[in-house]
Chain A
Amino acid sequence: MALHEKLITYIYTTIFLFLTITGFAQMPIFKRYHIADIPGLGWLAEFYITHAMHYIFGAVLIGLVAYLLVEQIAAGKHEKRLTKSGYTKGVMLIGLIVTGGLMVFKNLSGTPYSPIIVSILDLTHLAFCMALLFYSTFTLITKKGWVRYPIKDIVTKRIF
Chain B
Amino acid sequence: MKRIITRRSFIKGAVTAACSIASTSSFARAASALKSGEPIATLLDISKCVGCQECVYACKESNQAKYPKPEKPFPKMYPSTVKAEDWSDKTDVVDRLTPYNWLYIQSATVEIDGESRELTIPRRCMHCQNPPCVKLCPWGSAIQLDNGISRIDSDTCLGGAKCQTVCPWLIPQRQTGVGLYLDLLPAFAGNGVMYKCDRCYNKIAEGEMPACIEACPENVQTIGPRDEILKQAYELAVSMNGYIYGDKENGGTNTFYVSPVPFEKINEVIEKGKGKPHFEAVADTMKTGNNLALSMVVAPVAGVAAAFAKFYATNTNRDDKKNS
**Which A residues contact B (CB, under 8 angstroms)?**
26-29, 32-34, 47-48, 51-52, 55-56, 58-60, 62-71, 74, 101, 104-111, 115-116, 118-123
Residue numbers in B under 8 Å from A52 (CB-CB): 288-289, 292
Is B307 interfacial (CB-CB < 8 Å)?
yes
Q: For residue B139, which residue of chain A has the nearest CB? A: A122
| Cα of A108 to Cα of B129 in the assembled complex, Å | 10
Residue numbers in A under 8 Å from B166 (CB-CB): 47-48
Asked if B139 and A119 sit within 8 Å, CB to CB, the answer is yes
A contacts with B: majority SS: helix
A sample of 9 cross-chain residue pairs with beta-carbon separation below 8 angstroms, ordered by A number, consists of A28-B160, A48-B285, A51-B289, A56-B292, A58-B296, A67-B304, A106-B135, A107-B135, A115-B140
| B160-176 vs A, Cβ < 8 Å mask (1 yes, 0 no) | 11100110000000000
How many of chain B's residues touch chain A, expressed as a range? 35 or more
Is B153 interfacial (CB-CB < 8 Å)?
yes
Is B73 interfacial (CB-CB < 8 Å)?
no
How many A-B pairs with Cβ below 8 Å? Answer: 124
Asked if B143 and A115 sit within 8 Å, CB to CB, the answer is yes
Asked if B136 and A70 sit within 8 Å, CB to CB, the answer is no
Question: Which one of B82, B135, B140, B165 lies within 8 Å of A119 (CB-CB)?
Answer: B140
Asked if B310 and A62 sit within 8 Å, CB to CB, the answer is no
Asked if B303 and A66 sit within 8 Å, CB to CB, the answer is yes
Chain A min CB distance to B192 (Å): 12
Residue numbers in A under 8 Å from B146 (CB-CB): 111
Question: Which one of B156, B161, B290, B295 lies within 8 Å of A107 (CB-CB)?
Answer: B290
Is B144 interfacial (CB-CB < 8 Å)?
yes
| Cα of A33 to Cα of B187 in the assembled complex, Å | 12
Asked if B79 and A107 sit within 8 Å, CB to CB, the answer is no
**Which B residues contact A (CB, under 8 angstroms)?**
79, 81-82, 129-130, 135-136, 138-141, 143-146, 153, 156, 160-162, 165-166, 189, 251, 285-286, 288-290, 292-293, 295-296, 298-304, 306-308, 310-311
Asked if B138 and A122 sit within 8 Å, CB to CB, the answer is yes
Q: Given A28-B162, A47-B136, A109-B129 in contact, is the A64-B143 Cβ separation under 8 Å?
A: no
Chain A min CB distance to B153 (Å): 7
The 3 closest A-B pairs by CB, nearest first: A66-B303, A119-B140, A70-B307
Question: Which one of A60, A70, A108, A118 lies within 8 Å of B299 (CB-CB)?
Answer: A60
Residue numbers in A under 8 Å from B138 (CB-CB): 26-28, 122
Not counting A34-B81, A47-B162, A59-B295, a sample of 13 additional A-B residue pairs whose C-beta atoms are within 8 angstroms of each other reads A26-B136, A26-B138, A29-B160, A47-B165, A48-B166, A55-B289, A62-B300, A63-B299, A66-B303, A74-B311, A101-B296, A118-B140, A118-B143
